[in-house]
Amino acid sequence: MPTTKTSRSRVPAAARVQRPQEGTAERREAILRAAMKVFATRGFHSASLVEIAEEVGMTHSGVIHHFGNKEQLLVAVLAFRDDDDVVTFEDHKAPKGAAFLEHLILTAKQNAERPGIIQGYTVLSAESVTDGHPAQEYFRERFVGLRDMLTDALRIVTEDDLPASTLDEAASAIIATMDGLQVQWLLDANAVDMPVSLRMAINGVLRELHAMRQDAASE
């Protein structure tokens, strides 16, 4: 947040607000939800802080006060989304092995009930490959994390019988299927059944890995 000459803005936001702490947290959350909605419908570059502010009945400078600028707001939106995410990172209570794969299919099913979140994820992840996009590092790390989680699950399911590179390739394919199905589904929800197609891909990849193990065993 840029510093200004008024004493008011040198005081941390939390100390300044007279209402209970919950008020600020709720206000911030309302801005994050509005920002996700506007980023999803316009994309990051076309989204305006004015429109986000209007969504929550706030001024542009009110949003700036809470989040600094549009780039910082995007980073906050992505971090916020993770808390809400069915595929949680670094969740040591995450299901393991085959149960993790089932969890992904359940996620695809739940995703069909939350098109706004899915649209935001789809638009921002693809937009992040454009030059200098502020979410590029976020999504690069997100995919590293997802691949690791899936590789672990596949290692358990295949009983540590296959090379890490093979498990990585399988993990990339499964994550890709989830993401690619979202684009098709957002364009034409009636044409695509995300959980059914994802289950087909996951079952298929497991069959392929199983065949590779048998080939390796018979050599």
- Judged by CB under 8 A, which stretch of 56-64, 66-74, 80-88, 194-202 contacts its own copies? 194-202
Q: How many residues bind its own copies (CB under 8 A)?
A: 54
Both structure tokens of 209: 């890995």
Q: Tell me: does residue 147 bind its own copies (CB under 8 A).
A: yes
Question: Which letter does DSSP use for residue 44 in this model?
Answer: T
Q: Is 143 in the site for its own copies (CB under 8 A)?
A: yes
144 touches its own copies by CB under 8 A: yes
CB 203 within 8 A of CB 156: no
> Is position 170 an interface residue for its own copies (rule: CB under 8 A)?
yes
Q: Is 140 an interacting residue with respect to its own copies (CB under 8 A)?
A: yes
**Is 43 one of the binding residues for its own copies (CB under 8 A)?**
yes
Is 177:197 a contact under the CB 8 Å cutoff? yes
CA distances from 144 to 10, 78, 140, 168 (A): 39, 16, 6, 10
For residue 211, the one-letter residue type is: A
Q: For its own copies, which residue of 17, 130, 163, 164 counts as binding (CB under 8 A)?
A: 130
Query: Is 86 near its own copies (CB under 8 A)?
Result: no
